Chains A and B, each alone.
Chain A
Amino acid sequence: MPTPKERFQAVVENRPVDYPPVICPGGMMSATVIDVMNETGITLPAAHHDGELMARLAEAVQQRTGFDNFGIPFCMTVEAEAAGSEVDFGTLECEPKIVKERFPDNQSVIYEDINLLLTRGRVPAVIEAARKLSQWHPDIPVSLTLTGPISFAASLVDPLVFLKDLKKNPAASHKVVAYVNDFLIAFAKLAIGNGVDIVTFADPTATGEILGPKTFDEYVVRYLGEAVTAIHEAGAPTIVHICGDIKPVKHLLPKIGADVISTDAMLSLAELKKELPGIKTMGNLSTYLLDQEGAIDRITARTRTLVHQGINVIAPACGLSTTSPIENIKAFTDAVHQSVAETESIG
């Protein structure tokens, strides 16, 4: 049997696998549910700050949920904090959030040295966690999930002003997005050098319904595309997750060049595969379903369908609610892992 790391790599290289990896990449899509924290006593918000704790919590999550990866960090505010925005680190149940964006508009952005940003806030803790996880478990891939350039920029500059300027003042917008993107690329490279195997970008503010196709093409395709290329050069595969209704921008997704495209639950991945042959898909078991008590049978059935449809990587659609029962997540990963036994007994 291949190791989880080999299996993921096989998917990236279009080689056949015994079963698709079932992962939860971290960041916006973190599996740090309350059940795991209560069982292990390794808790948030403390584990957001400390590399050792972060690694131990990611390890506990992997062991108890059965995901085929480690996912770090556990929120989407690491980048904005390093770039100077004010963050509320949340509680055990509640993810960190931006209290206040550092700048009121693009014009007031202070461009700092990227290498300095890499030493700030929780960046060093994330790097340390990656190093530890890759040393403890060389067979299981570590996924670093970063906040995509549009969501990151809209966490650094007041979001409404930022969105307006995408249209109104493209020059200033490009400058800011290029800056945050440079930081994301540097962060990803540093992480790859410290044991990260997969880099995932989640850009929830860059949805089709928020930006529309023109703006999506001008900013998201361009900057995520650049980041994806840089990360490929550094030797790691990439996953790009787009939230919300992607209908208006679907045709643009292949241009980003990511190895795997992940979408929200409102879209049929089987259809997306038909419409965009050649792309590899990740997803998309409903986040809401995974959060419901007594949903195990439906979770198992729905997961089997995803596997049979040939979805390349199985994952929760838009991450997990922290209240999701551990039995649900276990049923989810089990359904994928057991699919191989079934196919073997049939064939």
Chain B
Amino acid sequence: MSKELILKKFTDAVVNGDEDLAVEAANEAIASNLDATEAIVDGLSKGMGIVGEYFESQEYFLPEVIVASEAFKAGVKILQPHIKVQQGTKPSKIVIGTVQGDTHDIGKNIVGIMLGAAGFEVIDVGRDVSPKAFVDKVKETNADLLGLSALMTTSMVNMKKVLALLNEEGVRGQVKVMIGGAAISQRYADEIGADGYSVDAVAAVRLAQKLVAVAA
């Protein structure tokens, strides 16, 4: 099977949320010695990009995005061991979670999925997470980015506490902080001194890419 056809199969598998097709394409890719990185970038991730566009234009909704991400993950799982490790290029790491007092995690999970699809190493610390747990995880993993989600006006104040603790522990300089969630605005991000805000998961990927590019 030609490379183009396999790549298209990957893309279709993700866009249609077809896990079996993603697995099939991955096995074919390996059998025909297709470069695994290329398969992920030009096949699977391209599909996630299209899913993101559909999500923004309200052709797709959350269930479709989650199903697509499952197909994406199924493909990556098979391809992963075949990725040729390039010297010096490590994926950027992001610790992501919902702040203390808040158990809304649907949006945060979607952001995590899209970041993973875009090649970030995502460390999800869950929901209702204390400032200390965020900071400890950042230190432990040496993360490049920290993503904080808050959906409630009562919980968003805890973002400020995370930033304060990062400062206190002297690690604020080594991690870029991005925030989001329904309660959050660019103005709030500026007010508490976060490095960026984005309105949805697609914009969050662009923001994360921008922030690591600036940091590099």
User: What is the interface size of chain A, counting residues whose CB is below 8 A from a CB of the partner?
Assistant: 24
A321 an interface residue at 8 Å Cβ cutoff? yes
Q: How far is the CA of A99 from the CA of B103 in the complex (A)?
A: 8
Judged by DSSP, the binding face of A is helix
Q: Which residues from A are CB-within-8-Å of B24?
A: none
A167 near B103: Cβ-Cβ < 8 Å: no
Query: Cβ of A94 and Cβ of B101 under 8 Å apart?
Result: yes
At the interface, yes or no: A168 with Cβ under 8 Å from chain B? yes
Q: Which of B60, B64, B105, B109 gathers most chain A CB within 10 Å?
A: B64
The stretch of A9-17, A114-122, A158-166, A234-242 that contacts the partner chain = A158-166
Interface assignment of B58: CB less than 8 Å from any CB of chain A: yes
Chain B residues with CB under 8 Å of A209's CB are: 58, 61
Q: Which of B58, B63, B101, B153 contacts A164 (CB 8 A)?
A: B63
A321 to B106, CA, bound (A): 21
Contacting B105 at CB < 8 Å: which of A159, A322, A323?
A159
Whether the Cβ atoms of A93 and B66 lie closer than 8 Å is: no
A97 contacts chain B at the CB level, 8 A cutoff: yes
Whether B66 contacts A212 by the Cβ 8 Å rule is no
Alpha-carbon gap, A215 to B64, bound state (A): 10
Q: How far is the CB of A258 from chain B (nearest CB, A)?
A: 22
Shortest beta-carbon distance from A149 to chain B in Å: 15
Least Cβ distance of B133 to chain A in Å? 15
- Whether A248 sits at the interface, judged by CB under 8 Å, is yes
A210 contacts B by Cβ under 8 Å? yes
Cβ proximity bits A155-192 to B, threshold 8 Å, 1 near / 0 not: 00001100110111000000000000000000000000
Interface flag for B147 (CB, 8 Å): no
Residues 192-216 (chain A) with a chain B CB within 8 angstroms: 205, 209-212, 215
The count of chain B contact residues (Cβ–Cβ below 8 Å) is 18
Q: List residues of B (29-73) whose CB comes within 8 Å of A's CBs.
A: 58, 60-64, 66-67, 70
Contacting A at CB under 8 A, from B117-152, are 128
Q: Which residues of A contact B106 (CB under 8 A)?
A: 159-160, 163, 205, 210
- Give CA–CA (A210, B106) in the complex, Å: 9
Query: What residues on B are CB-neighbors of A288 within 8 Å?
Result: 153
A163-B128 contact, Cβ under 8 Å, with A210-B106, A212-B58, A291-B153:
no
**Cβ–Cβ contact B103 & A215, under 8 A:** no
Q: Which 3 A-B pairs have the closest CB atoms?
A: A212-B61, A164-B66, A167-B63
Q: Which residue numbers of A lie inside 8 Å of B, CB to CB? A: 93-94, 97-99, 159-160, 163-164, 166-168, 205, 209-212, 215, 248, 288, 291, 321-323
Interface CB pairs A-B, < 8 A, 5: A97-B128, A160-B66, A163-B66, A164-B70, A167-B66
